[in-house]
Each structure stands twice: as structure tokens, then as C-alpha cells.
Structure 1
């Protein structure tokens, strides 16, 4: 896969990225991260990927996009959600259960009006 080199040129006066540009940027980074890390069994390696780090750096505005992607496509997005929100909605008994972790985050997203 080709490396994506999108530059966001249009920021609002306060520095925020426009919503559609944010969605486009997130989509590009998510595709890159998923494509380049799907075969990794080491979570630390996947979380160290530059695209993942760029997603986390996008911050709170990207949370609804992450939740929507998790809802429609699954994936190990809970680390990014925790890194951005500092929330931890997962019951300790569910650690290691990917489906339960995803459901806990989706429930959190609904409860907090993020999806």
C-alpha cells in the first residue's frame, strides 16, 4: 500500500480541523494502520505504528469516528479510545475478551453521546 501523505491545509482560525477533513484524514490513517498492522500479534508494535500515533494525536474530535469504525468494522480501537479519553469502561473480568471490550466502549459512546 502506498503511504498516505495528506496535508491538512484548511484549519479554522482556532486551529481546529474542519469536520470533513478530519473524517478524511482519520479514514486514511485508519486504513493505513489496519493494512500495515493486521498481521501483527504484538499489540505494542501495532500501537507504535506512526498512523496509530497520528490518530491519537487528532484527539477528542476523532472519538466519534473511532467508535463508528469500531461499530461497523470491529478492530482493536479501544487502546486509542483510552489514550484519547482517559476513560476505561471495560469491566476487569472482560479484559482479553475483544467482543466484550468493544461492546463496553460502544456502550460508553452511546452513554456519552458520542455515537
Structure 2
């Protein structure tokens, strides 16, 4: 495993634990208020394919990270609204843009 992938995996697991610990929160933005989320976003464009892979099966707010990294706002903020529609929108976006993704 490459160093960037290992770093991403470590941060993603930390953030997913944070989300699981706060799953009962009535404030969805509490999920984004964590250093691991900020660090994931700071990984930038190279993290997008890795995020998409986790987003295929995961239920955490990956759409919020994708929005912050890509600047694509089509699917909302990734935290409120129809989260399944948000996820499906991002997966469709990736299938349409993956080949041209500069990474």
C-alpha cells in the first residue's frame, strides 16, 4: 500500500469512528467538526477516487468532503437533505467524469 493510500485509510477510519460515536446527534454538522475530516479534505484531488470507493458502500458524509475538494455543488452540502440521492448523484458524477479526472 502506498503512503498516500495508507494515510487516507488511517484518516478515513478515524473519521468514520468519530461519525459512529456521534450517530445520535441531532446536528449533522458535528460529523464535519473533526480534525480527521479536515485532514481528509486537505489531501485534495488525489483523495477523490479513494473517497468514491468508500462512498459506494459507506454511509458517512463523504459528499461533504467531495464538495469541498471538487467545488461541485450540484448535490447539496452532503450533510442535509436526501443523503441517498446525494450519494447516488456523486457516484453518477464519478462514472461520468472519472476518465477525465486529473487527480
For normalisation by structure 2, the TM-score amounts to 0.80
Instruction: Extract unaligned runs of 5+ from structure 1.
Output: 1-18
Count of residue pairs the alignment pairs up? 93
Shift of 1:21: 1.3
Q: CA RMSD in A?
A: 1.8
Which of 38, 52, 57 is residue 20 of structure 2 equivalent to? 38
Instruction: Extract unaligned runs of 5+ from structure 2.
Output: none
Shift of 1:58: 0.4
The runs of at least 4 consecutive aligned structure 1 residues that moved more than 3 Å come to none
Structure possessing the higher radius of gyration over alpha carbons: 1
Shift of 1:46: 1.6
Greater relative contact order (CA < 8 Å, ≥ 6 in sequence): 2
Q: Which has the higher helix share?
A: 2
Which of 69, 72, 77 is residue 84 of structure 1 equivalent to? 69
For normalisation by structure 1, the TM-score amounts to 0.73
1:31-59 per-residue CA deviation (whole Å, 9 max, x = no partner) reads 10111222322222221200000000000
